[in-house]
Structure 1
Amino acid sequence: MKSTGLRIHGKKDLRIDTFDLPDLKDDEILATVVSDTMCMSSWKLAMEGEDHKKTPDDLENNPAMVGHEFSGKILKVGKKWQDKYHAGQNYVIQPNLAREDSPFVPGYSYPYIGGDATKIIIPNEVMAMNCLIPFEGEAYYEGSLCEPVSCVIAAFRAQYHVNKHTYQPTMGIKDGGNLLIVGGTGPMGLLAVDYALHGPKKPKKLVVTDMDQAKLDRAKKLYPSDEVEVEFLNVKGLSNEEQKNKLKELAGNTGFDDIFLMISVAPLVTMADSLLNPDGCLNQFAGPMKKDFSAEINFYNVHYNFTHIVGTSGGDAENEAEAAQLIADKKLDVSKVITHVMGLDAAGETTMDQPEIGGGKKLVYSSKKFDRIELAKVDSKSELGQILEKHDGLWSKEAEDWILQNKPDYE
């Protein structure tokens, strides 16, 4: 059986290849991919090639499939897994296999599994780690966004607060506390906003910063709340000291109990650290590009005020399952972060150009062939434009169905 997919052959070398899939083993599963959403992690992968810690050493001769936020339908199940999965079942995958013996994960490392492909073979270790998860949401794009939501869930769970008398930690953000998301109008920041407003623990006050007023205005429109007091602050042109003072004012002339850094900028780490309340927790959510990334923090406060720092990278199978359930139950509306859609033929260029393109999540329909579409620029008189207008400009199952019915298959 043949598959067509986007594979990495080396640094800045992404190609769409058509190749034969090997015969299915008893401990493997054959599946289609319907949709995949892009992550800046895939851009980093493309930039680093063999230098990336999750790629094989010889990509030139052993290219790996790209894409790790994907959803599709199971076609055939090997004997080992027939009591747990079945043909026709929709699925999502948690690519972070969390294995001690190997850094290899789907979308970075394997020749036959990745999100930007028409058909894939899911290896035994994915099922063995409970990372193949049935999905009961109404649309495939929702399934693709389970992985980024799982990253947010993992980060929120990793936050902790300590009883200063017993030193016993309570995990999660502080219920009813002050929460700050720095650089929070990108897709991951917006998913964090959504989870903060609708997750199991809610802050009393949520502040989101950015330097783009249009993005802030859009976020304010998309994420209203009757339960949480939400503020969106444009910090463009403000010095770190001015930004700090303004944030303290918004926090009620105090600090923040939880802070998420969605960007890796050393002075902002230092500023965020200075904004922590006693027992406050700072999360370096964004993955730094440089291995020597460092910043100054106040260790007096670490010792005497119990401030602490955590970092998370990806989610796990449990986080993915929670994300899948929240999305299927319509508690989170992940359509709000999608700004571009495309077919497989546009996936390589778009992966490479993500920083220049800007916007939110880029959604690939992996079995289809069509150019990248920016949702905000779709002609309102076109069929797709009329569908978007019905849904306030947001992506939807109706829009997905239109793509799947009207765009040509990738052959």
Structure 2
Amino acid sequence: MKSTGIRIYGKDDLRLENFELPEIKDDEILATVVADTMCMSSWKLAKEGEDHKKTPANLAQNPALVGHEFSGKILKVGSKWANKFFENENYVIQPNLARDDTPFVPGYSYPYIGGNATCIIIPNEVMELGCLIPFKGQAYYEGALCEPLSCVIAAFSSQFHLIPHTYNHTMGIKNGGNTLILGGTGPMGLLAIDYAIHTDKKPKTLVVTDLVADKLARAKELYPSSEVEMKFVNVDGLSIDEQKQALLTAVDNEGYDDIFSMVSVSPILTLAGQLLRADGCLNQFAGPMKKDFSANLNFYDVHYNFTHVAGTSGGNATNEAQAAQLIAERKVNVAKVITHVLGLDATSETILHQPEIGGGKKLTYVGHKFDRIAIDQIATNSPLGQILTAHNGLWSPEAEQWILANTDAIDS
């Protein structure tokens, strides 16, 4: 079977090309990809190329398919998995295989599996590790965003706090505590807000910071809550000391039980450590670009006040399944983080220019070709604009169906 996909050959070298898929083995599954979303990890991969820890040796001779946040439909199931997965079943994949023997994962390392390809072969290890998950949601974009949400679930699950009068811990954010999301109006920050106000353990107060007033206002509009006190703090132009005062004032000088840093900025991490109350937990969510990234931390507080640090890199299979269930049950609306839609032919350029493009999640409809569209720029009197208006300007299953029916298909 032929497929069309984007492969990485080296630094800034992404190529859209046609290629032949081999026949699947008895322990493999053939599938289509319908939707893929991208994050800054895709940009980092493109920039690092052969130096990325997840790419194969001799990348120029062993190109890998890119895209790790995707969903689609199963076409054919090898005999080993015929009693567990089925033709025409919709699926999502947790790309973080968490293997001990290799860092290789879908979307970074394999020649025949990645989110930016019209057809893929899912290898045995994905199923063996529980990372192929049936999806019951209403739209493929929802499935593609299971992976980002799984990262948020993993981060919240990794938080830990002491059980009083013991050195044992309870996992998760502190129920009824104060939670701070630093730099929280990007797509991952928005997903974190959504999860925080809909998960079982909820903070009493959730504070979100950013440097852009419009982004904070949009976040406030998108995520109201009757159960959690929401505060949005603009730190633009404030010194570190002024930020500290503003953030302490937001919680009546109580400090924070849980802090998630969506940025990798040393002074901000140092500030975060100062904002922790006793037994507070700081989570470095953003992946630093530099391997020597560091920040100052008060170890007096670590010893006497039991403050601590956590961090996660991606989710796992359990987190992916949790995300798929939350989305399918309509408890979390991941459409709120989508700001652009595009066809596969516009994907390479979009990956390479994500920082300049800005906005939230970029959604690729993999089997189609059309230029990148900012959804807030779509004319309200157009057919797609009317659909968006009916959904408060958000992407929706109806918008997805319009795109699939009204844009040109990729020729494999």
TM-score, normalised to structure 2, is 0.99
Which whole-Å CA distance do the structure 2 matches of 1:106 and 1:67 have between them?
Answer: 8
Q: Which whole-Å CA distance do the structure 2 matches of 1:107 and 1:87 have between them?
A: 23
- The equivalent residue for 1:107 is 107
2:253 alignment partner in structure 1: 253
Quote the Cα distance in structure 2 between the aligned partners of 1:200 and 1:147: 20
Deviations 1:160-213 (A, max 9, x none): 001352101010000000000000000000000000000111000000000011
- Measured against aligned partners, the alpha-carbon deviations of 1:372-410 in whole angstroms (never above 9, x if no partner) come to 000010011111111111111100000000001111100
1:239 is aligned with what amino acid?
S
Question: Are 1:386 and 2:386 matched, yes or no?
Answer: yes
Letter in 1 for 2:250: L
Give 2:172's aligned amino acid: G
SS of equivalent to 1:207: strand
The one-character-per-residue Cα deviations of 1:223-252 (angstroms, maximum 9, x if unpaired) are 000000000110000001000001000011
Task: Report Cα offsets for 1:117-144 as digits up to 9, x if no partner.
Answer: 1000000000000000000000000000
Aligned to 1:44: 44
Give 1:138's aligned amino acid.
Answer: Q
Secondary structure, aligned partner of 2:291: coil
- What is the 5 A alignment of 1:172-251? 172-251=172-251
**One-letter amino acid of the counterpart of residue 237, structure 2:** G
For residues 370 and 270 of structure 2, the distance between their equivalents in structure 1, rounded to whole angstroms, comes to 45
User: 1 CA distance for matches of 2:252 and 2:110?
Assistant: 50
In structure 1, C-alpha distance between the alignment counterparts of 2:70 and 2:47, rounded to whole Å: 21
> Corresponding residue for 1:79?
79
**Which residue pairs with 1:340 in the alignment?**
340
Segments of 4+ moved more than 4 angstroms: none
Aligned residues, how many? 411
5 Å matches for 1:265-284? Answer: 265-284=265-284
SS in 2 for 1:92: strand
CA RMSD between the two structures: 0.5
My pick for the range that moved more, 160-169 or 354-363, is 160-169
Corresponding position: 1:292 with 2:313: no
Quote the Cα distance in structure 2 between the aligned partners of 1:48 and 1:392: 38
**AA paired with 2:156?**
F
For 1:174 and 1:163, how far apart are their aligned partners in 2?
A: 11
Distance between the aligned counterparts of 1:49 and 1:361, measured in 2?
22
Matched, 1:29 2:38: no
In 2: Cα distance, 1:62 partner to 1:380 partner: 45
Q: Describe the SS at the equivalent of 1:58.
A: coil
- Give, in whole Å, the separation in 1 of the partners of 2:233 and 2:70: 33
Q: Tell me the residue number matched to 1:140.
A: 140
Residue 368 (structure 2) aligns with: 368
SS in 2 for 1:9: strand
* Identical-residue share of aligned pairs (%): 69
Unaligned runs of 5+ in 2: none
Cα distance in 1 for residues equivalent to 2:264 and 2:361: 19
SS in structure 2 of the partner of residue 220 of structure 1: helix
Q: Distance between the aligned counterparts of 1:65 and 1:238, measured in 2?
A: 43
Q: Does residue 310 of structure 1 match 2:326? A: no
Distance in 2 between residues matched to 1:311 and 1:397, nearest whole Å = 34
| Counterpart residue type for residue 55 of structure 1 | T
Work out the CA distance in 2 between the residues paired with 1:223 and 1:165: 36
Letter in 2 for 1:111: P
Match of 1:358 in 2: 358
Q: Secondary structure at the match of 1:6?
A: strand
Q: Deviations over 1:281-334 (max 9, x none)?
A: 000000000000001010000000000001100000000000000000000000
In 1: Cα distance, 2:304 partner to 2:253 partner: 21
Give the whole-Å Cα distance in 2 for the aligned partners of 1:156 and 1:354.
Answer: 26
Note the residue ranges of structure 1 that are not aligned, 5 or more in a row.
none
